[in-house]
Amino acid sequence: MTQLPQSTERKMGLVIDLDTCVGCHACVISCKGWNTENYGAPLSDQDAYGANPSGTFLNRVHSYEVTPAEGHAQLIHFPKSCLHCEDAPCVTVCPTGASYKRVEDGIVLVNESDCIGCGLCAWSCPYGARELDVAEGVMKKCTLCVDRIYNDNLPEVDRIPSCVRTCPAGARHFGDLGDPNSDVSKLVAEREGMDLMPEMGTKPVNKYLPPRPKDQIEDQIDILAPLLAPVAEEPKGFLGWLDKTLEKL
Amino acid sequence: MHPAPSVIIFTTCSGLGFGLLFFLGLGQPEVTGFVAFVFYLIAYALAVGGLLASTFHLGHPERAWKAFSQWRSSWLSREGICAVAALLVMGLYALGAVFAGSHWTVIGWIGALLSLATVFTTSMIYTQLKTIPRWNMNLTPAMFLSFSLAGGALLAGAEALAPWLLAIAGAVQLAYWAKGDGAFARSGTTLGTATGLGGRGAVRAFEPPHTGTNYLLREFVHVVGRKHAQKLRVISFGLAFVLPLLLILIPVSGVAIKHIFALLAVLSHLTGVVVSRWLFFAQAEHVVGLYYGKR
């Protein structure tokens, strides 16, 4: 059913720390690895070893340069996957009921046996979170690793999304953003977590933590400057003669 | 947006076909027997042909019947239901006109209304998308409906109405282009709001996530061909509205010449609308392009 639930019991989602992300793309690879061989159709590649490789990914890392009015430019790595929006436009546009939002945890999923591959859900998503798999002809998207997080066959430490488990920098966090006392909700409150494209009215569950302000590099140089000042102001001896001779030329 | 031939053929042909069905349902022209058969053949060929073309871009066309289930929330589902209902009701009305030689007025009116509703629901599939500001305007349904009515009147040979409807459709087209050109800027979505980093300074896409292309770029970022947009607008406007108006307003004597001029007017209009629809897709910019530093 493609009508959105009035509310969900929990709001499971990700918190992504833009201050900590080092842009290593490990989350991209682990996501592809897990999701190509588990839930639903595999994530196919076309011309993988040829001149024009392309493929289906559920998570991609962009990099942006931010230049403030004063001070230095900053490079910010920016992982992007489905934000499991509360008011998900991709769900309501679906003509077959294949796209749905779960009442129990708020995860947005695609029932691949009902998907006709019309692509309208991808058109309605402002974040580019959905990609139509060329080989299977069905829509693929982040499942929040629904086949890991409730999987009793895995050790408890692994019952989190693959991208979160893999991140070597600890830039990705997983939890219930509907519970104000959860670790992720506290983190969002403390770091002023933000929504992407709030003007679209999608009410994303996933939050992004903005980069922390950087130290002023100029001040640090001032501390060391006296130690680095040249000791000999006027060259003497051979160097002094060379200097004077070259000046005359 | 990628201007897929399947959706351009679909919106152009089915718009024209349902436009003709609208006028036939209202008894304009009031035809029976073999002449009625030819009119309905043209209308159904356009409407059904267009709908079939739209299934070509589906990943799984064999499951298309499932699309009738979600009418509560989905405009695409509503369109499917309206289209089938319009074709069935007008089919019944056509049977009366072709074989019984009679016009069942109420059924015709219902069919006409459903035909127009089909065009409206098609337009709403595009209009509802906030992610494409150029489509997310009131003028989008106005354009689809006015085009369908103008084309339908032209095909139905409604001599009194056709010039007025063509003029209205032409005016809506100009307004749509004028307003659409500033739609993305007015939407307020920038790379700054997309990344949430806009408050910190000027944001620039530094590195894409991958060296190759992907589904998102193929589907949503269509830059090729936009440079000729202004020329294509002139061509489209001339063929869709100016030339057909001249062809039907020039006083000519003789039924044969009149019919040839009417046929030329229809063909010119059809070609112009195809160009306009190509622009409708090719010029539409999806906000996801911002993430890639492209529009």
Cβ contact (<8 Å) for A116 and B125?
Answer: no
Of all residues in chain B, what percent are helix, strand and coil, respectively (each to 5)?
A: 75, 0, 25
Cβ contact (<8 Å) for A66 and B200?
Answer: yes
* Residue B207 backbone phi and psi in degrees, to 5: -140, 130
Q: Distance (Å, rounded) from C-alpha B80 to C-alpha B67? A: 7
Question: What is the pLDDT, as a whole number, of residue B252?
Answer: 83
Of the candidates B131, B191, B197, which has its C-beta nearest A123's C-beta? B131
Nearest Cα to Cα of residue B70 among B13, B113, B121, B4: B121
Q: Distance (Å, rounded) from C-alpha B236 to C-alpha B140? A: 17
Q: Distance (Å, rounded) from C-alpha B222 to C-alpha B16? A: 26
Q: Distance (Å, rounded) from C-alpha B76 to C-alpha B11? A: 13
Question: What is the pLDDT, as a whole number, of residue A54?
Answer: 94
- % of chain A surpassing 90 pLDDT: 78
* Residue B194 backbone phi and psi in degrees, to 5: -65, -35
Average pLDDT over residues B107-127: 97
pLDDT tens track for A160-179: 999 999 999 999 999 999 99
Average pLDDT over residues A89-101: 96
Question: What is the pLDDT, as a whole number, of residue A24?
Answer: 96
* Closest alpha carbon within chain B to A125: B131
Instruction: State yes or no: pLDDT of A219 exceeds 60.
Output: no
Instruction: State yes or no: pLDDT of B120 exceeds 70.
Output: yes
Report CA A86 to chain centroid distance, whole Å: 19
The contacts of residue A158 (CB under 8 Å, 6+ apart) are A148, A151, A165
Of the candidates B131, B203, B219, which has its C-beta nearest A64's C-beta? B203
The contacts of residue B169 (CB under 8 Å, 6+ apart) are B143, B146, B147, B149, B150, B240, B241
Question: What is the pLDDT, as a whole number, of residue A213?
Answer: 81
* Closest alpha carbon within chain B to A136: B59
Q: Distance (Å, rounded) from C-alpha A170 to C-alpha A175? A: 14
Strands A74-81 and A59-67, by their bridges, are antiparallel
Instruction: State yes or no: pLDDT of B26 exceeds 90.
Output: yes
Of the candidates A75, A97, A118, which has its C-beta nearest B206's C-beta? A75
Q: Which two tokens stand for residue B34?
A: 């073999």
Q: A209-223, B13-27, B273-287: which has the minimum mean pLDDT?
A: A209-223
Average pLDDT over residues A121-126: 97
Q: Which two tokens stand for residue B113?
A: 């209304």
Mutation target for A interface from B210, B221, B294: give the one with most A CBs within 10 A.
B210
Cβ contact (<8 Å) for A62 and B197?
Answer: no
| Local structure of A38: helix, strand or coil | coil
Instruction: State yes or no: pLDDT of A79 exceeds 60.
Output: yes
Question: What is the pLDDT, as a whole number, of residue A217?
Answer: 61
Average pLDDT over residues A9-34: 96
- Angle at which helices B105-127 and B139-156 cross, to 10°: 140
Question: What is the pLDDT, as a whole number, of residue B92?
Answer: 96
Per-residue pLDDT band at A61 (split at 50, 70, 90): very high
Q: What angle do CA A13, A18, A19 make, to 5 degrees?
A: 130
Instruction: State yes or no: pLDDT of A105 exceeds 70.
Output: yes
Question: What is the pLDDT, as a whole number, of residue A222?
Answer: 65
* Closest alpha carbon within chain A to B81: A95
* Residue B215 backbone phi and psi in degrees, to 5: -55, -40
Q: Dihedral, CA atoms, B160, B116, B122, B133, nearest 10 degrees?
A: 60
Q: Distance (Å, rounded) from C-alpha B284 to C-alpha B255? A: 43
Q: Distance (Å, rounded) from C-alpha B293 to C-alpha B291? A: 6
Instruction: State yes or no: pLDDT of A220 exceeds 60.
Output: no
Cα separations in angstroms, B228 against B9, B49, B82, B218:
21, 29, 36, 20
Q: Where are the domains of chain A?
A: 12-214, 218-248
Q: Which two tokens stand for residue B124?
A: 């709403």
Question: What is the pLDDT, as a whole number, of residue A12?
Answer: 97
* Domains in chain B, CATH or no CATH each: 5-292 (1.20.1630.10)
Pick A239 or A102 by higher pLDDT. Answer: A102
The answer to whether A9 and A104 have CB atoms below 8 angstroms apart is: yes
Q: Dihedral, CA atoms, B2, B7, B12, B17, nearest 10 degrees?
A: -170
DSSP H or E stretch at residue B185: helix B183-187
Indicate the residue type of A24: C
Instruction: State yes or no: pLDDT of A78 exceeds 60.
Output: yes
Q: Which two tokens stand for residue B195?
A: 């990344």
pLDDT tens track for B172-184: 999 999 999 999 9
Q: Distance (Å, rounded) from C-alpha A72 to C-alpha B235? A: 49
pLDDT tens track for B137-157: 999 999 999 999 999 999 999
Query: CATH topology for A12-214?
Result: Alpha-Beta Plaits (3.30.70)
- Chain A nearest CA to B201, separation (Å): 4
Chain A, chain B: beta-carbon pairs less than 8 Å apart: 193
Average pLDDT over residues A25-35: 97
Q: Which residues of A touch B206 (CB under 8 A)?
A: 63-65, 75
β-bridge mates for residue A78, sequence order: A62
The contacts of residue B200 (CB under 8 Å, 6+ apart) are A66, A68, A74, A210, A211
| Local structure of A140: helix, strand or coil | strand
Instruction: State yes or no: pLDDT of A63 exceeds 60.
Output: yes
Q: Distance (Å, rounded) from C-alpha B212 to C-alpha A77? A: 19
Cβ contact (<8 Å) for B214 and A54?
Answer: yes
Question: What is the pLDDT, as a whole number, of residue B22?
Answer: 97
Instruction: State yes or no: pLDDT of B111 exceeds 90.
Output: yes
DSSP state at residue A172: E
- Chain A nearest CA to B4, separation (Å): 12
The contacts of residue B136 (CB under 8 Å, 6+ apart) are B127, B128, B129, B130, B183, B187
Instruction: State yes or no: pLDDT of A238 exceeds 90.
Output: no
DSSP state at residue B253: -
Q: A17-26, B39-48, B243-252: which has the minimum mean pLDDT?
A: B243-252
Average pLDDT over residues A195-213: 95
Separation of first and last alpha carbons in chain B: 10
pLDDT tens track for B45-81: 999 999 998 888 899 999 999 999 999 999 999 999 9
Q: Distance (Å, rounded) from C-alpha B187 to C-alpha B184? A: 5
ipTM attached to this prediction? 0.92
Question: What is the pLDDT, as a whole number, of residue A232?
Answer: 65
Q: Which two tokens stand for residue A92?
A: 């309501």
Question: What is the pLDDT, as a whole number, of residue B239?
Answer: 97
pTM of the model: 0.90
Question: What is the pLDDT, as a whole number, of residue A154?
Answer: 96
